[in-house]
Amino acid sequence: MNMKTKEETRGEEVENKDDLLSSYKIGKVVELCLSHRVVMAAMTRCRALNGIPNEAMVEYYSQRATHGGLLITEGTFISDTAHGYPHCPGIYQEEQVEAWKKITDAVHAKGAYIFCQLWHVGRASHSAYQPGGAAPISSTSKPISSRWKVILPDGSQSDYSTPQALPSSEIPEIIDQYRQAAINSIQAGFDGVELHAAYGFLIDQFLKDGVNDRTDQYGGSLENRCRFLMQILDAVVEAIGIERIGVKISPTMYTQDAHDSDPLALGLAVVKRLNKQQEEIGFKLPYLQIQAGTLSHGISESEAQVLRELRRAYHGTFMISGGFNKALGMKAIAEQDADLIAYARFFLSNPDLVRRFEIDAPLNAFDAATFYTHDPVVGYTDYTFIDGKQ
């Protein structure tokens, strides 16, 4: 299905070739000159012991860096209240910022770009992760149901804690944490940041009416439910500039009890506001990423239709993720359903994924049992390259 032309969609000069492995340029002042459309998606890996990036992470990210490629980091906590998973990195302490510099330097040495995904899990947490054992914060005081489990710091599983509905008077403090985390990311050498507004985490908890039961200016209408995201975006734009900020949403996904009664309307509401902000500023976000589906379940036809509508509506670079292999990625780019395709598990198990796509080489299988272990090598940096080397 042929969507709109790139010229209509982006208004920027790009190659005529519609191919997953063709080049693509983003930005006017902050330029990203991509040599291909294969993006490494954010993936939680739990290797940052005590929240500090380490040498194993330097190797992991540099292994997957290609000249002109774009990497998005694992979710990175913006504050001490943002935690909800063991041994995930932060970007709110000076020690963390300094440790990330080694990673960004290694990625840049390979000629690649790297964005830091800014993460606050909201109610997808447990009091064991919160300062003083406090309740996690959210848009609501409703806990995530017991069908979903949280991994505790000791590796055991438990029900999620009952959250505290964030008072409107305290929302500016959270917004400022995003702003400062963005500044810290640039100081750490990142080319930009991605606002994680997907997958049932804090911003998504404000966006979706299946979670957000507020009656104040942050709840009820689409205008109100989008307010938190847009206020965060405004603050981060002021701090580091719009051309350094990607946004990720997942309006069709139902995870951690986060769902919406009208995913298309929600997605279009976000797109409308992003379009308006871009028009007013005169510059564009590097991308809007939509996650719809997973490698296990793929993208359903109803989700695909939502993606098509959002693609038509959005005035900028459109990235999609969820269940793509090479053939599906090629098809999506060729039919102009997307400008960029983000890969997760295939990029995890194939550090040279782009090269394998280039020569149609078989892919390494991934080992799900090692996704969230803390070993600095196994299931992390020991996946082989096409030449057999690690």
Helix axis angle, 171-187 to 94-109, nearest 10°:
40
CB under 8 A, 24+ apart: contacts of 348-355: 348/43, 348/383, 349/383, 350/383, 351/63, 351/64, 351/383, 351/385, 352/385, 352/386, 353/38, 353/40, 353/64, 354/21, 354/36, 354/38, 354/66, 354/69, 355/66, 355/385, 355/386
Kindly report, residue by residue over 313-364, the tens digit of the pLDDT: 999 999 999 889 999 999 999 999 999 999 999 999 999 999 999 999 999 9
Q: Is residue 104 part of a domain?
A: yes
- Label residue 292 by pLDDT band (50, 70, 90): confident
Residue of higher predicted confidence among 295 and 87: 87
Residue 164, pLDDT score: 98
Q: Is residue 112 part of a domain?
A: yes
pLDDT of residue 293 exceeding 80: no
Q: How many CA atoms lie within 13 A of 337 on its CB side?
A: 19
Interatomic CA distance for residues 341 and 322, integer angstroms: 9
State the total domains in the chain.
1
Look up residue 294 and give its DSSP letter. B
- By the 8 A CB rule, do 244 and 286 touch? yes
Q: Is residue 276 part of a domain?
A: yes
- Label residue 215 by pLDDT band (50, 70, 90): very high
Q: Which residue has the tokens 């804690």?
A: 161
Interatomic CA distance for residues 295 and 171, integer angstroms: 35
Pairing of strands 24-26, 32-34: antiparallel
Distances (CA, A) of 164 to 54, 56, 69, 143, 210: 33, 36, 40, 9, 17
User: Closest Cα to residue 292, out of 338, 331, 326, 336?
Assistant: 338
User: Closest Cα to residue 236, out of 295, 177, 280, 309?
Assistant: 177
Q: Kindly report the backbone phi and psi dihedral angles of residue 347, in degrees, each rounded to the nearest multiple of 5, phi listed first.
A: -75, -30
Q: Is residue 385 part of a domain?
A: no
Kindly report, residue by residue over 3-54, the tens digit of the pLDDT: 333 333 443 434 436 699 999 999 999 999 999 999 999 999 999 999 999 9
Interatomic CA distance for residues 298 and 148, integer angstroms: 21
- Label residue 297 by pLDDT band (50, 70, 90): low
pLDDT of residue 389 exceeding 90: no
Q: Is residue 1 part of a domain?
A: no
Q: Strands (DSSP E) along the chain, which ranges? A: 24-26, 32-34, 38-40, 70-77, 113-119, 137-138, 150-151, 157-158, 164-165, 192-197, 245-249, 288-291, 318-321, 340-343
Q: Tell me the two tokens of residue 296.
A: 């296990």
Provide the residue range defining the domain that includes 313: 6-370
**At 52, which CATH number?**
3.20.20.70
Q: Is residue 49 part of a domain?
A: yes
Q: Is residue 33 part of a domain?
A: yes
Q: Is residue 296 part of a domain?
A: yes
- By the 8 A CB rule, do 203 and 196 touch? yes
Enter the pTM of the model: 0.94
Look up residue 255 and give its DSSP letter. B
